[in-house]
Amino acid sequence: MRVALAALLLFNLLLTPNFTIEWRDGRLYGSAIDILKNGSPVVLLSIGMTLVIALGGIDLSVGSLMALSGTAAALLLTAHNTSPALSALSGLTIAMLAGLFNGALVSLIRIQPIVATLITLVSARGIAQALSHDQKIRFESPAFEALARGHFLGLPTPIYIALGLAAVTALALRKTALGMAIEATGNNPKAAYLCGLRIRTITIAAYAFSGLCAGIAGLIAAADIKEADVFTAGLYLELDAILAVVIGGTSLTGGRPRILGSVLGALTMQTLTVTLLMHNVKPEYTLMVKGLAALVVCAAQSPLASQLWSVRRRASS
C-alpha cells in the first residue's frame, strides 16, 4: 500500500501538470494538500470501519450518519441559535447513538451486520430528510466552519482531526488490551467468549465508535460547504471506506485491525481519484479504474497469491 501511494505521488509530481505545493498567505496550497484535506472524511470513516471489520462485521450506514450528523448540527445552528460547540456535540451524539443502535441490532438481536446497518443506512438519511423537510440547510458560523476551513501551522484543520484520531486509535489498539480483545473476537468469537471477553460489549462499542467517526466526518463535510445537504452528504462514501480498509490489509473475515493501512488505503484511493480527474478522465471511467485498482490490490493480498508466492520461492530455492 505504501508503494502504491508513493508511486501515485511520484507519477503526479513528474507527469501531472499543476501538481504542486506552494506557501501562500501563511498556508500551504496545492493538489497534495487538497488530497489530504478532501480525503479526511474517508480517512475518518475508515478508522471506525476498521474496528467493525476486524470483528467480522460491516457498517453500511456511515454515509447516512454523516448526513444526519451534519443536518442535526445545522438545524441547531439556524433554527435554535445553539452555540457551535453544542451543535457539533449534538450532531456527534446523534451519530454515536445510531452506531449504538447498529451494535445492539448486531450483538443483542443477532441481525446480520449487513442487514442491520442497511436498515440504519435507509432510516438515518430518511430522518435527516424529515428534519430538514427535504431542504438544504445553509448556515453562517465562522466558529463551526473552522472545522473544515480553519488551519494550523499551514495545514487545514481536517488533516489534524483525521490523522490525530487515527494516531490515538492506533495507540489504543497497540498499547491497551482493546486491540488484543478485538483481534481475538474477530478471529474466533467462541474462543474469545470462553476466555471471558465481553463479546457483546466489544461489538456495541465498535459500532458506536464507527458512528462517532461518521459524525465527525459529517460535521467536517457540512462545515466545508457551509451547508447540510441531506441528499449528497456521505453518499457512497461507505463503499470508499470499506475499500480503504480492505486494501489496507484488514481482513473482511475479522482479525487484526490495521489502522495505518486503512489510512493509507483511503489516501491512495483519494490520490487515484484526483490523478484521474486532473488527467481529464471522465467520472464514470474514474469509478471503473478505482474498482480495477482495488481488485488488483485485493488479489495481491489474497491467500491464493500468498500460496503462489510461496510455491515460487520454494521452486527458486
* Whether pLDDT at 226 is above 80: yes
Q: Looking at the structure, do residues 271 and 299 belong to the same domain, yes or no?
A: no
Asked if residue 302 has pLDDT above 70, the reply is no
- The confidence score (pLDDT) of residue 162 equals 96
Is 87 domain-assigned?
yes
Q: Look at residue 297 in the predicted model and tell me its pLDDT.
A: 66
250 and 146 in one domain?
yes
| Same domain as 268, residue 295 | no
3-state helix, strand, coil in the chain (%, to 5): 75, 5, 20
Q: Residue 238, by phi and psi: left (phi above 0), alpha (psi -120 to 50) or beta? A: alpha
Binned at pLDDT 50, 70 and 90, residue 305 comes out as: low
Check pLDDT > 90 for residue 205.
yes
Whether 20 maps to a domain, the answer reads no
Judge whether residue 52 has pLDDT over 90: yes
Identity at 69, one-letter amino acid code: S
Label residue 8 by pLDDT band (50, 70, 90): confident
Quick one: which H or E segment has residue 201? helix 199-225
Task: Place 178 in a pLDDT band, splitting at 50, 70 and 90.
Answer: confident
Cα 50 to Cα 95, 227, 252: the distances in Å are: 17, 28, 10
Rounded Cα distance between 110 and 30, Å, is 47
Count of structural domains, the chain = 2
3-state secondary structure of 249: coil
- Distance in angstroms (rounded) separating the CA atoms of residues 275 and 177: 40
Task: Examine the domain organization and report whether 72 and 167 are in the same domain.
Answer: yes
pLDDT of residue 272 exceeding 80, the answer is yes
Q: Is residue 11 part of a domain?
A: no
Contacts by residues 164-167 (CB-CB < 8 Å, ≥ 24 positions apart): 165/44, 165/47, 165/213, 165/216, 166/43, 166/47, 166/259, 166/260, 166/263
210 and 289 in a common domain: no
Q: What is the amino acid identity at position 228?
A: A
Q: How far apart are CA 219 and CA 92, in angstroms?
A: 8
- pLDDT class for 63, splitting at 50, 70, 90? very high
Same domain, 111 and 44: yes
102 and 70: one domain? yes
For the chain, percent of residues with pLDDT exceeding 70? 96
| Domain coverage including residue 80 | 35-280
Cα separation, 81 vs 133, whole angstroms: 19
The span from the CA of 87 to the CA of 226, in Å, is 14
CATH for 180: 1.10.3470
Tell me what pLDDT residue 104 has: 97
Per-range mean pLDDT, top range of 150-159, 179-188, 210-219? 210-219
Q: Are residues 311 and 268 in the same domain?
A: no
Q: With CA atoms as reference, report the closest residue to 238 among 113, 65, 105.
A: 65
Q: Which three three-digit cell numbers place residue 244?
A: 480503504
151 Rama class: left (phi>0) / alpha (psi -120 to 50) / beta: beta
Distance of CA 110 to the CA centre of its chain: 25
Pair 293, 213 in one domain: no
Span 97-126, average pLDDT: 96
Task: Tally the C-alpha atoms within 13 A of residue 262's C-alpha that lie toward its C-beta.
Answer: 33
Render pLDDT for 236-252 as a digit per residue (tens, 0 to 9): 889 889 989 988 888 88
Phi, psi angle pair for 27, to nearest 5°: -140, 160
One domain for residues 137 and 108: yes
Q: Does any domain span residue 22?
A: no
Do 88 and 143 lie in a common domain? Answer: yes
